[in-house]
Copies of this chain bind each other. A is one copy, B any other.
Amino acid sequence: MGNSFGNFFRISTWGESHGGGIGVVIDGCPPNLPLSVQDDIQPALDRRRPGQSDITTPRKETDTATIVSGVFEGLTLGTPIAITVPNSDHRPEAYAEMKEKFRPSHADYTYQTKYGIRNHEGGGRSSARETIGRVAAGAVAQKALQSACAGIEVRAYVERIHTLGLEDFGSGEAPLFPFPSLEQVEATAVRCPDADLAAQMIACIKDARSEGDSVGGVIVCRVRGLPVGLGEPVFDRLEAELAKAMLSLPATKAFEIGSGFAGTFMSGSQHNDLFENREGQVRTRTNRSGGVQGGISNGEELYFRVGFKPTATILQPQATVDQSGAETELIGRGRHDPCVVPRAVPIVEAMTWLVLADQWMAQQARLGTAPRS
């Protein structure tokens, strides 16, 4: 209950932060797809793993993946692909205090109350470490979808850290920043493709860390090359699936597609995207819809934004209660990210690929059942 995602391209994740490992089972990946850890899975996980730069947690995890099933002689079999990643950097002593005290704005209290038990080491199942399975599965979805439909590109990047952001956010318009290459995004530890701004963001994150504090921010995710017709109204609209995917990520508090909240300040005559014929294609002059109309992709660039709250773990004393309900104080310890946003970039991309692969397959099921004249 709650640990699977997707209908056709369906993943089931498992694992706690400090248990035996983290993993995912992917059901629905097409057969005959070349797939390897080295070329496909590990590069994605390396973008997510801790310790990748000096603004992330120093937790030492190589996050080395193994494909245990579903691939034979380098090709997918069409059977479930199981991928596992062991947990190696286990320091239970660092979590002794958390056994008794609930960390503010963490999931300790709610897990304990919902389940009557929790693995308090490193957050257990509520740890962002759980997203390893998503990233691994996202890499498979990406490979599958790009093999089936060349030209689809998904690119997420950091648009804002704390108060430092590109102008695009809040304009209600499609991003002005040119669609960046993966290299541009990866050029800085903060994954903002504007180098100057990135430097400021990194400084901001380091400042927060030096104060034992944390910051949040916004990721924008853009998709181009998407065919018209993906999305399953009425409940499984493309934006609805994306919203669920994003709000299922740790630390997310907000999602908007296209013009988002800014668009609610516009009038209809300002907001509507007029159609035109551009080189034989039906296109829109503007793209406040964000690439989706009526829950279905319209061939324009798909873009949406995800808001991440500041990391809940801070190295300052905070009032809280313990398991008995008694008021007490807690000082965050252990290794943590002063800002989760940079490492969330590949996770946002992974969830996007998973949504797109699933919706693609739904449409293929329909097309493949169309009347043959």
Contact = CB atoms under 8 A, between A and B. Distances in A.
A70 B307 contact: no
Given A2-B236, A16-B69, A105-B268, 9 more contacts: A3-B80, A7-B7, A19-B71, A72-B118, A78-B366, A126-B233, A162-B265, A208-B268, A277-B321
Contacts of A177: none
A66 interface: yes
Interface stretch (A180-188, A191-199, A249-257): A249-257
Closest 5 CB pairs of A and B: A107-B294, A364-B368, A2-B232, A214-B268, A244-B244
A162 B261 CA distance: 10
B296 A263 contact: no
A268 B341 CA distance: 13
Nearest to A71: B19
Interface string A214-226: 1111100000000
B361 A104 contact: no
A364 B114 CA distance: 11
6 contacts: A21-B69, A77-B117, A109-B298, A243-B246, A243-B255, A254-B260
A226 to B, nearest CB: 12
A373 to B, nearest CB: 9
A235 B2 contact: yes
B105 A14 contact: no
Q: Dominant SS at the A interface?
A: mixed
A90 to B, nearest CB: 13
B266 A126 contact: no
Contact of A229 (B66, B110, B229): B110
B272 A264 contact: no
Contacts of A365: 1, 8, 28, 361-362, 364-365, 368
A104 to B, nearest CB: 4
Contacts of A346: none
Contacts of A71: 19
A275 B362 contact: no
A353 interface: no
B235 A110 contact: no
Contact of A369 (B282, B297, B364): B364
A25 interface: yes
Given A4-B4, A115-B31, A372-B148, A255 B258 contact: no
